[in-house]
Structure 1
Amino acid sequence: MSFELASCLLTMFVLAGIGTPIGYSIILAAVVYLGFAGLDIALAGEKILQGLYKSFVLLAVPLFIVAANIMNAGTISERLLNFCVAAVGRFRGGLGHVNVVASLIFSGMSGSAVADAAGIGKIIIEMMTKEGRYSRGYAAAITAASATIGPIIPPSIPMVLYALVSNTSIGALFLAGILPGLVMGAVLMAMNSYLSTKRGFAMEEPVPLRQLPRHTANAFPALLMPVILLYGIYGGVTTPTEAAAVAAFYALVLAGLFYRALSFRALYGVLVESARSSAAVGLVIGGALILNFIVISENIPGMMAEALVGLEVHPLLFLLGVNLLILLLGCILDATTIILVIVPLFIPTCKELGIDLVHFGVLVVVNSMIGLITPPYGILLFVINAVTGIPLREIISEIWAFLAVLVVALLLMIFVPEIVLWLPRMFGYLG
């Protein structure tokens, strides 16, 4: 390792360690590298601008953030919850099932785990803890665990970022996420059923079946969003970025005109919050673009690929090793940083070993989402704590069972690639 690269990494880790936002840490570390390497520091700005202007797909990120925030500001989340209660609330652990099913549906609109947790999370936790039906920690834990499904089922902001660094088809990635998302939902519901029966959680008063059509009709326009998105992309009507714009516009029309639940004041607040969230993601993306230039300049991907191929590593062993590393990194780093900074190092090796990049991308995103609920960092645990006030120790004590079944689901996707690749291949993806 060169002195310049060592200085860059040391600066980045020290800054991140003292609490500097990761985007600033990466950018400042890159400037240190350029200074020691005798390169023009203005190169940092040039690489950021080049990367942003060449990546039309990045426009999808702020647009999906806007769509998710509009969904939260309107009554759309509540309507979806009422539909889920009517559909699955009658079973043992009913509100836990409602929690998971609501996340499965909401994930088709937001593309963000944090938006899912902050949006429907507070509402469903209040429903679950009312009159002591579920403990606070359990309600918060299953909410955090189910929110991880958000970026797996399309649309997905992390998959857009992965497509940026791997040059992989966003359409194929979106399709590949559908079955894994359903598998994650199924294992969470199975664990919820087991724990609900073991602990004797009270059953909910079933909603009469005659009321189900009314709840379905109320939620139907919202349920159409993922259908519209997927048809637009796979029907050749829109690009993924244009589909993100359609999602934001459809959410605005739905909340503002159809449901009449979004005032101009609320819309202004949505746009301001979306701008802040997009800027935070943009800083990390900008830092990652410079860092990727440094990594390529140091020929790190080439050296890694040569070393691993020389050892004749089996693709399956490589996948297990990388996923274990990402799982550990997920305890301390957020998903955006992992995908933009760490994952590009492994892309050349995946190509050398013949690992499908769509399969690898879905595994990375699923793994990064599991990291969001893995103590001690687990950003979703902090989000739930912030919006509900439930102590972290109560959430962490209940999260382990759900964390375990999600890891089992991840292993299933590693050993059975068809879970990930079956749908993309049905639609003509060759890999």
Structure 2
Amino acid sequence: METFLLLGTFVILLILRVPIALTLIVASLATGLYMNIDLATLIQQMVEGLNSFTLLAIPFFILAGEIMNEGGISRRLINFANVIIGWLRGGLAMVNVLASTFFGGISGSALADTSSVGSVMIPMMKKQGYDSDYAVSVTVSSSAQGVMIPPSHNMIIFSTAAGGVSIGSLFMGGLLPGLLLGIALLIITYMLARKRNYPKGQPVDKKDIPRILGEGILGLLTIVIIMGGILSGYFTVTESAAIGALYAFIITFFVYRDIKLTKMGIILKNTFKTLSMVLFLIGTSSAFGYLLTLLRIPALVADTLINISPNSAITILMIVVILLLLGMIMDMAPLIVIATPILLPVAIDVGMDPVHFGVLLILCLAVGLITPPVGTVLFVGSAIGKLPIEKTSKGLLPFYAVMIVMVFLVAYIPSLSLYFPNVFVE
């Protein structure tokens, strides 16, 4: 009865479109009251879920992304990508993919990527003759790909939920699959552009190229500083995030100088707003996860999956299907906290490395970000492009196919996720 109450309340509230954080806490409180659990215990679990030094890196990553976003980094990265690849057939669409890859490595947020790059690129692509559904599809799929490129605060959330998996290993584990997915998206973007005869990009004036490249590289150095500090061992993840935020502040306000220091108030407000949502989700997910463990639901799921088939390949397939389905109905952050303690033991039982599983989980949930009915990135992209969700989803079909292929490659070829960690971290 307790299990039915916990999961039933959760599903009903989810169907009623109650915000996910409230859904988690209401289901937890209702079940706790039924089980006569002291509610202070649930509050303690929420606090415990947030009581992690590692999580201190998240506000700095969010702050760095907000500073660079407000300071015009998205426009500079678009110009930078345009110099590299914009001259090809469908070049503007390919610039979109490349810029999202760069920006994802700075912000670590698919939603911020879509809002920032998409607000510039989607109207620009439509103006130059690209179909609206294609422009939105390119934007949201490449933004989802960006969460794989380090640094990613979602990897930090997974590390915490998994009990302390190396964040450096997770960052490096996501790098190769993220880059390969970006290349695959560039290929499908180019193929569709040729098939539909989209225009070539406008050539860049040669005298502007040094300035554009210099400004773009200055922005991308944020990633180098963060990853270099972590991999060299000079900084912890939190220290690297703080230094990255400081660098972003200096570059934005004293080098680019597109905005005044008075804008810092708005930047901090946006940072606190995003951070409060992320931390509230982590806290409520921790209370929900505590009850799942108390009711032995993870153990039940693990036994069920393993008993269905002794074949590890089949078990991995079931894990992938579960993650893809869950990603369609829940947001990424709470799902990481909830799904990790349930599915990670299953993955370890069939021989998966925790880093391999973490990369696979993030990639599957990235697909969910652009999949109806609850794909937040899909909604934002459709709103920017002024398109109904149904039309955008139809235009996304070729991009879905590419991403699903990449999911299965990551699932069944562990070296894609483990090669860089083994070389650079261990």
Asked if these proteins are the same fold (TM beyond 0.5), I'd say yes
Q: Tell me how far 1:308 sits from its aligned partner.
A: 4.1
Secondary structure of residue in 1 paired with 2:396: helix
CA distance in 1, matches of 2:126, 2:63: 30
What do residues 21-59 of structure 1 show as CA deviations (whole Å, max 9, x unaligned)?
111111111111111111111111111122222x11112
Counterpart in the other structure of 1:4: 2
Give 1:22-421 correspondences, 5 Å limit: 22-53=20-51, 55-131=52-128, 133-167=129-163, 168-208=165-205, 211-310=208-307, 313-421=310-418
CA distance in 2, matches of 1:286, 1:176: 26
CA distance in 2, matches of 1:38, 1:320: 38
What do residues 217-261 of structure 1 show as CA deviations (whole Å, max 9, x unaligned)?
121210111111111101111111222222222211111111112
Q: TM-score, normalised by structure 1?
A: 0.94
Q: Which runs of 5+ in 2 are unaligned?
A: none
Q: Tell me how far 1:335 sits from its aligned partner.
A: 1.2
CA distance in 2, matches of 1:47, 1:205: 56
State percent identity of aligned pairs: 35
CA distance in 2, matches of 1:289, 1:386: 32
Secondary structure of residue in 1 paired with 2:200: coil
- The number of aligned residues is 425
In the alignment, structure 1 residue 20 sits paired with structure 2 residue 11: no
Q: Tell me how far 1:428 sits from its aligned partner.
A: 4.4
Code of the aligned partner of 1:31:
L
What do residues 247-301 of structure 1 show as CA deviations (whole Å, max 9, x unaligned)?
2222111111111123234221111121111111112111111112112212222
CA distance in 2, matches of 1:309, 1:369: 26
1:350 and 1:392, CA in 2 relative to 1: closer, same or farther beyond 3 A? closer
CA contact (8 A) 1:315 1:355 kept: no
Secondary structure of residue in 1 paired with 2:328: coil
CA contact (8 A) 1:256 1:263 kept: yes
CA contact (8 A) 2:302 2:342 kept: no
CA RMSD of aligned residues (A): 1.6
CA distance in 1, matches of 2:239, 2:304: 41
Q: Tell me how far 1:310 sits from its aligned partner.
A: 4.8
Secondary structure of residue in 2 paired with 1:375: coil
1:337 and 1:278, CA in 2 relative to 1: closer, same or farther beyond 3 A? same
CA contact (8 A) 1:137 1:398 kept: yes
Code of the aligned partner of 1:151:
V
Code of the aligned partner of 1:116:
D
Secondary structure of residue in 2 paired with 1:205: coil
Q: Which runs of 5+ in 1 are unaligned?
A: none
Secondary structure of residue in 2 paired with 1:150: helix
CA distance in 2, matches of 1:229, 1:395: 35
1:385 and 1:48, CA in 2 relative to 1: closer, same or farther beyond 3 A? same
Code of the aligned partner of 1:6:
F
CA distance in 2, matches of 1:280, 1:181: 26
CA contact (8 A) 1:48 1:286 kept: yes
Q: Tell me how far 1:314 sits from its aligned partner.
A: 2.4
CA distance in 2, matches of 1:374, 1:304: 25
1:38 and 1:404, CA in 2 relative to 1: closer, same or farther beyond 3 A? same
Code of the aligned partner of 1:138:
Y
Could you tell which deviates more after superposition, 74-83 or 306-315? 306-315
Q: Tell me how far 1:81 sits from its aligned partner.
A: 0.9
Could you tell which deviates more after superposition, 201-210 or 230-239? 201-210
CA distance in 2, matches of 1:352, 1:327: 21
Code of the aligned partner of 1:293:
Y
1:312 and 1:403, CA in 2 relative to 1: closer, same or farther beyond 3 A? closer
CA distance in 1, matches of 2:75, 2:213: 13
CA contact (8 A) 2:176 2:416 kept: yes
